[in-house]
Chains A and B, each alone.
Chain A
Amino acid sequence: MAAGANADTAAEVDAHSDVWVFVEQHDGEVAKVAWELLAKGRELADQKDEDLVALVMGEDIRETDIPQQAIARGADRVLVADDPIFEPYRADPYGEQFRHLVEQRKPDIALIGGTHTGRDFAGRVAVPTHAGLTADTTELEITDERYEMRRPAFGGDALATIICPNHRPQMSTVRPGVFDTPEPDESREGEVEDVETVVGEDETLTEVLEREVGDVADITDAEVVVAGGMGLEGDFDPLWELADLLGGEVAATREAVEEGWIEPARQVGQTGKTVRPKLYIAVGISGAIQHVEGMDDSETVIAINNDGNAPIFENADYGIVADYAEVLPELIELLRERLDDTPEVSA
């Protein structure tokens, strides 16, 4: 492929090195995907024999253990942009600060969590730097010196390999839940560096008037996930009961989330989370491709749906064609007996 008019020259491409990971935090609370990305970023940096650099933005970050945590989780260096302008998050100051650092320090690869925050500002870095940005990546790999970002296309029917031959950095937003988070190694050493803030409040285009966030549930770690959809008509109680019994978490389809039956953090799918439990029980879920994409790594899938033609049965190991309202109470009863019989069996 010929280099485009606006492509970086080979020398410009070569001038870029290191793997960067954006450590998303709000009020001192780090988004778990950041730790997942540091683990993956460590692998890539080792393969390239380069440094892994974590970037944190916020206010009073030095008073938290975030920089130390980032080192324990693999970073060689941590860049801290500490200024009240970065709290709460806004796309324009985040994008501008990140852009400045990218232009100044020239990373080769930059990974950003595929959260609403990451997907919101990543373009404000990639556009002005003319970097390649791959959305919603699920696999990252260096093969024969070539960096490949893979992502589901056409609702998950295909897997596209995206490359970025002539532009740097090679950026991706990465879906939460696809990479593991190993235990932090507190003995690791690294450098923490404060960076200069390049954005001023008088240049900002937005103002956060109000921010309401509760405790965010984490379904990506659960061994058992009991998920509900529109078929439940809002009746999630038996799901909670079943999940409790099995020591698992409750999740849902996007439609169920939109109905307000459950919080968005529990949404599984293309625009939600990727879960990888031992057991996924899908109740009243049709099995739309966007949903299946987020649950297809489950070891065993069980479906309960009253429509025998629902696509979910093709994506399930065991299914029962029945009304959830009849199945769940009986199932809970049966499992309760079994779990009582053999107390050593637990989730």
Chain B
Amino acid sequence: MTDGWNIVVCVKQVPDAAEVSIDPDTGILNRADAEAVMNAPDYNAVEAALEVRDEVGGTVTALTMGPASAHEVLRGAVAMGADDAVLLTDRAFGGSDTWPTSLALARAAEELDADVVFGGEETTDSSTGQVPPGIAAHNDWAQLTYVEDLEPRPDEDQLVAKRDVEGGYERVAADLPVVVAMEFGENQPRTAGLHRKIYAETDFEPVEWSAADIDVEDEVGLAVSPTQVGGMATAEPVPREQEKVDDVEEIADQIAEVL
């Protein structure tokens, strides 16, 4: 074969991690204050998807689940070079934990006839890292996580990855279709060119699918999410002296004291 691969890259809109604040009185997180941005590790996923497309041919479709405002991250991916984008948007998705979220993305990836699905290592807001393996598990596809480098083998319908493992690395060959979670920071995401940016902002409209479109109406949302948030507490900052000293002698004193 090779008329290229259908590549899907999952991206997520998250509150800018640097701007999320906690109300000191209520202890409730103020997500609204923070600007919505693309999850930082997803830039590495988009870059990897584009590199694979450049090598084997085919198309890259950006995919996200979220409210209408999540258009923005899809436009970001299209500006970087993605060919198309799909937004899964529906009230029914509300309150989904990683189980239904990865189900919806898995169904959409199937619908898009994906050969490879990319995702970032984890999100900066929930940081579970569970969604890419979840997509693979729902579809019973191969998975490659903590990926540093990729070597497509279109003639064998395989994708070979160098993965980071504790204490070293391994190279694993996976049969298509495969879900890849790129390790954060493993490549240099390209910057969007001006023309592409203008196109993404003005001329491009992502496709929208509802839960019914991918046939998951009864399998998503809070009610089918196995995990629930039972409470949220402000993490008490560890009290520290926060004392700045002027000379090295004092640092040495402190170290000697502790030991």
Contacts and interface: CB of A to CB of B under 8 A. Distances in A.
A317 B256 contact: no
Given A126-B99, A127-B102, A136-B127, A314 B242 contact: yes
A208 B171 contact: yes
Interface stretch (A68-76, A152-160, A184-192): A152-160
Given A123-B102, A334-B252, A215 B258 contact: no
Given A133-B98, A331-B252, A338-B252, A313 B244 contact: yes
A216 B232 contact: no
24 contacts: A31-B166, A116-B165, A120-B145, A121-B133, A123-B136, A135-B130, A136-B128, A136-B129, A153-B125, A153-B127, A153-B232, A154-B125, A155-B127, A159-B233, A246-B255, A297-B238, A302-B255, A308-B244, A315-B240, A317-B254, A319-B242, A331-B248, A334-B252, A345-B256
B215 interface: no
A215 B225 CA distance: 40
Interface string A65-94: 000000000000000000000001011100
Given A127-B102, A130-B226, A318-B245, A212 B252 contact: no
A271 B245 contact: no
Given A124-B136, A315-B240, A161 B129 contact: no
B128 A347 contact: no
Contacts of B175: 205-206
Interface string B92-110: 0000011100100000000
Given A154-B17, A296-B238, A315-B240, A327 B127 contact: no
B236 to A, nearest CB: 9
Contacts of A105: none
B133 A124 contact: yes
Contact of B166 (A116, A153, A167): A116
Contacts of B203: none
B193 interface: no
Given A161-B229, A167-B226, A279 B137 contact: no
A128 interface: yes
A279 B259 contact: yes
A264 interface: yes
Contact of A317 (B144, B146, B243): B243
A264 B184 CA distance: 13
Task: Sort A-B residue pairs by CB-CB distance and give the 5 closest, nearest first.
Answer: A4-B223, A213-B168, A132-B226, A127-B137, A205-B142
Contacts of A216: 166-167
Contacts of B230: 146, 148, 161-163
A207 interface: yes
Interface string B159-187: 01001111111111111001000001110
A7 B173 CA distance: 36
B174 A205 contact: yes
Given A160-B229, A162-B229, A317-B241, A335 B255 contact: yes
Interface size class of B (residues with CB under 8 A): 35 or more
B33 interface: no
- By DSSP majority rule, is chain A's interface helix, strand, loop, or mixed? mixed
A318 B254 contact: yes
Interface of A: 1-7, 31, 88, 90-92, 95, 115-117, 119-124, 126-128, 130-136, 146, 148, 152-167, 205-216, 224, 246, 254-255, 258, 263-265, 270-271, 278-279, 281, 289, 296-297, 299-302, 304, 308, 313-322, 327, 330-331, 334-335, 338, 345-347
Nearest to A119: B129
Nearest to B231: A161
A123 B233 contact: no
Contacts of A210: 170-171
Given A119-B145, A213-B170, 17 more contacts: A5-B223, A91-B143, A116-B165, A122-B130, A126-B130, A130-B226, A133-B99, A154-B20, A158-B233, A206-B175, A207-B173, A209-B173, A258-B185, A279-B258, A304-B251, A319-B245, A338-B252
A11 to B, nearest CB: 17
Nearest to B142: A205
Contact of A263 (B167, B219, B227, B231): B167
A202 to B, nearest CB: 12
Contact of A115 (B17, B166, B218, B223): B166
B81 to A, nearest CB: 24
Nearest to B131: A123
Contacts of B121: 271
A306 to B, nearest CB: 12
Nearest to A212: B168
Contacts of B245: 318-320
Given A212-B169, A265-B167, A308-B244, A123 B226 contact: no
B174 A279 contact: no
Interface in B144-163: 144-146, 160, 163
Nearest to B28: A158
Contacts of B191: none
Given A91-B143, A216-B167, A320 B98 contact: no
Contact of A320 (B144, B168, B251): B251
B235 A152 contact: yes
B240 A279 contact: no
Chain B CB within 10 Å — which of A3, A160, A347 has the most?
Answer: A160
Contacts of A289: 17
B228 A163 contact: yes
